[in-house]
Structure 1
Amino acid sequence: MRFRDRADAGRRLATLLLHYRGHGPQLFGMNAGGVAVGYEVARALEAYLELWEARLVELPGEPLSALGAVAEGGGFFLNAEAVRSTAASASELTRWMDAAAGEVALEAQRLRGGFPRMEAGAGTVVLVVDGIAAGDFQVYAALRGLRRQNPRHLVLAAPVAAAEELERLRLEADEVLCLHPVWALLAVQHAYDELQGLPDIEVQQLLARGRELRSSHDELIPTENSEWF
């Protein structure tokens, strides 16, 4: 299975989530790619869409070795193998993770265009990603950040994913949905005809449309501050 682009992937992914239509699910797109996929899902489910920012944390001086990942809402994941192999102290590791968390907060604020983040409620929360490659620690951090919001049911939805990661991620989410599990997926772009970076303005436009989709959800309360660790 291949996807033309993220919009195509989102429309097809929505078919796995139609049973949530009319039940007020809250959709969070992980990073810009997840927002592009998530917008099509939000349209199909008549649900609101929000950004949930996450990023990898690399070991300084070792760009090919990821220490772990951090995400909004205080989500973080440490790569045990990298921690064991580094000579860095616990305080240095904490400092690197904290610095990355601050960068995530700034990136999310910029992509939202000054709008406050809408927190996850107590119902069904869906994290939408554009794909999950092997060793994609960002997804773990994003799910953990959302879990800290105490949703009743946490769902992970992906158009394509490495099967080995899907099995591990079942420990992080209450439900894992994937259109196309792949045994070996080293890079998400291998499943797309077109997978380009999204300009900030395009992400902001999708989020603005997402705010229109969620305008009827009066119970959602915006918060100005983010809690990290």
Structure 2
Amino acid sequence: MQYKDRRDAGRRLAGALDAWRGRSDVLVLALPRGGVPVAWEVAHALGAPLDVLVVRKLGFPGQEEFAMGAIASGGIRVMSETEGAWPVSERQLEAIVAREQAELERRERRYRAGRPPLEMAGRVLILVDDGLATGATMSAAVKAARTANPARIVVAVPVASVEAVQSVGALADEVVCPFTPEHFRAVGLWYADFAQTSDEEVDRLLSGSA
């Protein structure tokens, strides 16, 4: 199984979320940048509003694709079980956190463009990304969303590793993932087109949704 691109993945993911279609209490939250095209299709299919939940992965120095944790809005920090795979000093870690915090704040300013965050309390939140490898980023997102006192948190992704689904499933109320390949390796392998999502595309999709 392979998705054509993120928009195709979003349309197919929406089919697995049909139970939430047309409900006034549903809010779709995209993890930018790659989660935004997927989430736009989900929100469009469900007839739900779309917002962003900005999260930043904390990558190992020199091995940035491997997450040792993640941060999210509201001062949330989650460290993964693979944190000790490479030696990282406290000074190195704090430098990485500071850099990613600055980028998190930049993205929030840009993507919101002055729009206030949508109300999350008492709503069903559907958190969407383009895939889960370790689950660290989504775990931070779930913890951040939980502080808003939603009625339910549903994590929805087109593809994920079995381990990530289990990890995130321990935090979320529900995980919807149509495809969990046995030999996962990387999210991008399950897309024919996995080109990086640009800030401009995120701006366009969010402004259109608003």
* Distance change (3 Å), C-alpha of 1:83 and 1:23: same
1:58 equivalent in structure 2 = 59
CA offsets per residue over residues 128-151 of structure 1, 9 Å max, x none?
A: 111112x24211111111111111
* Distance change (3 Å), C-alpha of 1:61 and 1:16: closer
C-alpha displacement at 1:202, in angstroms? 1.4
Q: Structure 2 regions of 5+ residues with no counterpart? A: none
C-alpha displacement at 1:84, in angstroms? 8.2
Runs of 4+ residues deviating >6 angstroms? none
- For normalisation by structure 1, the TM-score amounts to 0.81
* Distance change (3 Å), C-alpha of 1:66 and 1:178: closer
* Greater C-alpha radius of gyration: 1
C-alpha displacement at 1:64, in angstroms? 6.2
C-alpha displacement at 1:82, in angstroms? 2.4
| 3-state secondary structure, aligned to 1:179 | coil
2:18 equivalent in structure 1 = 18
CA RMSD of aligned residues (A): 2.2
1:216 equivalent in structure 2 = none
2:182 equivalent in structure 1 = 183
- Mapped pair 1:43 → 2:44: yes
2:167 equivalent in structure 1 = 168
Q: Structure 1 regions of 5+ residues with no counterpart? A: 212-229
Contact 1:76–1:142 (Cα < 8 Å) also in 2: no
1:32 equivalent in structure 2 = 33
* Distance change (3 Å), C-alpha of 1:80 and 1:205: same
- Mapped pair 1:129 → 2:129: yes
- Mapped pair 1:69 → 2:70: yes
- Between 13-22 and 173-182, report the one with greater CA deviation: 13-22
CA offsets per residue over residues 35-60 of structure 1, 9 Å max, x none?
A: 10011111111100011121211345
1:201 equivalent in structure 2 = 200
In 1: Cα distance, 2:129 partner to 2:41 partner = 12
C-alpha displacement at 1:107, in angstroms? 1.7
C-alpha displacement at 1:62, in angstroms? 6.0
- For normalisation by structure 2, the TM-score amounts to 0.88
In 2: Cα distance, 1:198 partner to 1:99 partner = 20
- Between 6-15 and 104-113, report the one with greater CA deviation: 104-113
The residue correspondences of 1:3-14 to structure 2 (distance < 5 A) are: 3-14=3-14
Give the letter for the 2:36 counterpart. Answer: V
Contact 2:159–2:178 (Cα < 8 Å) also in 1: yes
Contact 1:65–1:82 (Cα < 8 Å) also in 2: no
- Count of aligned pairs between the two proteins: 209
C-alpha displacement at 1:196, in angstroms? 0.9
The residue correspondences of 1:98-109 to structure 2 (distance < 5 A) are: 98-109=98-109
Instruction: Identify, as 1 or 2, the structure richer in strand.
Output: 1
2:140 equivalent in structure 1 = 141
C-alpha displacement at 1:92, in angstroms? 6.5
CA offsets per residue over residues 103-135 of structure 1, 9 Å max, x none?
A: 2121222233343332423120010111112x2
Contact 2:111–2:203 (Cα < 8 Å) also in 1: yes
1:226 equivalent in structure 2 = none
In 2: Cα distance, 1:22 partner to 1:132 partner = 27
